[in-house]
Amino acid sequence: MDYKEKYAYWLSSDSVDSKTKEELKALEGNDTEIKERFYNDLQFGTAGLRGILGAGTTRMNIYTVRKASQGLANYIVASGKEAMDRGVAISYDSRHFSPEFAMESACVLAASGIKSYVFDRLHPVAVLSFAVRHLNCFAGIMITASHNPAAYNGYKVYGEDGAQLNVADANKVTEYIQNMDIFEDVKTMPEAEAKASGLVTMIGDEVRGAYLKEVLACRKTPDVSENTAKEIKIVYTPFHGTGLIPVSEALEAAGYTNLYVVEEQAQPDPDFSTVKSPNPEDKEGFALAIELAEKIGADVVLGTDPDADRIGVLVKNADGGYEVLTGNQMGVLLTDYILSAEQEKGTLSSDDFIVKTIVTTDLTKKVADYYGVKMFDVYTGFKFIAEVIKNYDDAGLGKYHFGFEESYGCLPGTYARDKDAIVATLLVCELVAVLKRKGLTLADAMRGIYEKYGYCVERTVSVTMSGLDGMEKMAALMRKVAENPFRKIADADIVAYRNYNEDYRLDYATGKKEPIGYEPSNVLYFELAGGGFFVIRPSGTEPKIKFYYSVPASSMEDGNAKIDILDNAVKEILL
């Protein structure tokens, strides 16, 4: 069907509720809007669904959620009775329709005879990931759009190891979804009947309590709870999301009594009414937190995004103001802290390892080498970090200590297999307490990292390409670069080019072309002369092209100046 036929189908279907039909009827005569809503189906990628809320096949609504859930149900049924009985753990964040989408998913699963365990209120991503493992479920669903604006929601699927569904299994679910009618082939069961039959079970504090024990076990210097933890002042904002209760519980249990929550952002609010975007990468969202921090003299300012899988950190600088730590800086600080603590205990082995993504700072490798542990590079997406944990730690081939992405997500334990801002908050506060014992701050510690390992400056630049032709523009841009890859950007020479989609690395000096050994992915990577990189990739969750820059430098100012030159040259060529 073309978009007009799909639109007519939804208007005529008895399966569509009257409110949705009213929304669709209001579009009559607006061909552009109808096309945008029906020109395609919302794609089930390797992270599930994510889109703008509203009626239509390209939108997040109960019908697209039911269809995705039916595809997952068919996949589980095909996996056998044991998979159906083990069931699915389901959680959700504070966004519009998140509780409704969670229960709709459970009711679709129930109609296919599959058990589900639904959290009785909103919980973070890591608690869902933990619940899948803790309850021995076959799969998990998290209703969230992470840090996207309020108009969005999403649907993430997890495998039995607690990690986001791997590519092969995601493709199987996608095939089921693509081969069904959004109304005729989807089954559901009334909520009351699903609960009465035992196919839907509500869960809550007992699972979060078990999760909290695992989080507290990740502390490296737990004795700070007896002294310094009481001295540091912490300002925290959950950005209207899921983080308030678990963060408060974790910090209280660890002895941090001076926790100041930004009250205006404490309670769940699907409109995120105090910020332009609930993204802890953006300093402007911390305006209220900084105001509170300046008032009380906070040692650190922390924020978690709506599903509490990413953390933002602000540190007090020499002038008494608060500056943002980048995801790379925070990740390197925690990597060095965790490995140094393990080294002091004498528990490090050469088989031990850390994991980062290919667009994350090269300083991480220097830290790993210093402590004599392995480092693995993976694609962007925490499920790839989880795969390394599964292949090495779970198999007894080495101990996992830490994994992180430049986009403010990390995990120091194996109890969950996705980013966990709750444990990150705890470890950042612990590091602040440890440093305070020595009369130092996080800013001092970051300077120490650069003095020890050398300056490396990074920046991620996102270019939005929305609208009907947004995806086409992104694809065309990627083709343009792949067909004529850079050999020089401004005054920076390039020594090698990696095309991950075609699995090769080309050395420009020798002309030697070698396989990289990764699964295909739409990533183009340029190695800069003298160290550093420029990477270009389309976002997997938003209509954006992302440019990643990393350069060695003599100072932050020097690095930022180099990146300014690179970024201006790239944009002049490509945009």
AA identity, residue 34: I
Q: What is the CATH number of the domain that holds 517?
A: 3.30.310
One digit per residue, the tens of pLDDT, for the chain of length 575 reads 999 999 999 999 999 999 999 999 999 999 999 999 999 999 887 678 999 999 999 999 999 999 999 999 999 999 999 999 999 999 999 999 999 999 999 999 999 999 999 999 999 999 999 999 999 999 999 999 999 999 999 999 999 999 999 989 999 999 999 999 999 999 999 999 999 999 999 999 999 999 999 999 999 999 998 889 999 999 999 999 999 999 999 999 999 999 999 999 999 999 999 999 899 988 999 999 999 999 999 999 999 999 999 999 999 888 889 999 999 999 999 999 999 999 999 999 999 999 999 999 999 999 999 999 999 999 999 999 999 999 999 999 999 999 999 999 999 999 999 999 999 999 999 999 999 999 999 999 999 999 999 999 999 999 998 777 888 899 999 999 999 999 999 999 999 999 999 999 999 999 999 999 999 999 999 999 999 999 999 987 677 899 999 999 999 999 999 999 999 999 999 98
List CB contacts of 281: < 8 A, sequence separation 6 or more: 147, 310, 312, 327, 407, 408
Number of domains in the chain: 3
DSSP for 16-62, please give it: S-HHHHHHHHTTTT-HHHHHHHHSSPPP-BTTBEEEEBSSSTTSBSH
In this structure, is residue 16 part of a structural domain?
A: no
pLDDT at 47: 73
Q: Is 551 helix (H, G, I), strand (E, B) or coil?
A: strand
- Rounded Cα distance, 298 and 303, in Å: 14
pLDDT at 318: 83
Same domain, 562 and 484: yes
Torsion of CA 129, 522, 376, 384, to 10 degrees: 10
Same domain, 363 and 224: yes
Same domain, 79 and 94: yes
Same domain, 87 and 184: yes
CA 365 to chain centre: 22
In this structure, is residue 190 part of a structural domain?
A: yes
Same domain, 52 and 157: yes
Same domain, 541 and 397: no
Distance set, CA 70 to CA 14, 129, 178, 202, 481 (Å):
19, 21, 11, 20, 39
- Rounded Cα distance, 414 and 420, in Å: 11
Same domain, 389 and 359: yes
pLDDT at 541: 67
Which member of 146, 225, 407, 550 is catalytic? 146
CB 95 within 8 A of CB 150: yes
pLDDT at 225: 83
Residue 146 annotated in active site: yes
Q: Is 238 exposed, middle or buried (0-12, 13-18, 19+ CB in 10 A)?
A: buried
Domain that holds residue 541: 455-574
Is the dihedral angle over the CA atoms 101, 107, 110, 111 positive or is it negative?
negative
In this structure, is residue 110 part of a structural domain?
A: yes
In this structure, is residue 105 part of a structural domain?
A: yes
Same domain, 442 and 561: no
List CB contacts of 349: < 8 A, sequence separation 6 or more: 373, 398, 399
Tell me which of 435, 453, 471 is where a domain ends.
453
Tell me which of 453, 488, 520 is where a domain ends.
453
Tell me which of 432, 453, 474 is where a domain ends.
453
Same domain, 412 and 465: no
Query: Nearest Cα to 299, choosing from 231, 390, 206?
Result: 231
In this structure, is residue 32 part of a structural domain?
A: no
In this structure, is residue 66 part of a structural domain?
A: yes
In this structure, is residue 29 part of a structural domain?
A: no
pTM score: 0.96
Query: Nearest Cα to 354, choosing from 411, 395, 408?
Result: 411
In this structure, is residue 19 part of a structural domain?
A: no
513-514 and 488-489 beta bridge pairing? unpaired
Q: What is the CATH number of the domain that holds 103?
A: 3.40.120.10
Same domain, 232 and 183: no
Q: Is 102 exposed, middle or buried (0-12, 13-18, 19+ CB in 10 A)?
A: buried
Same domain, 253 and 366: yes
Same domain, 300 and 343: yes
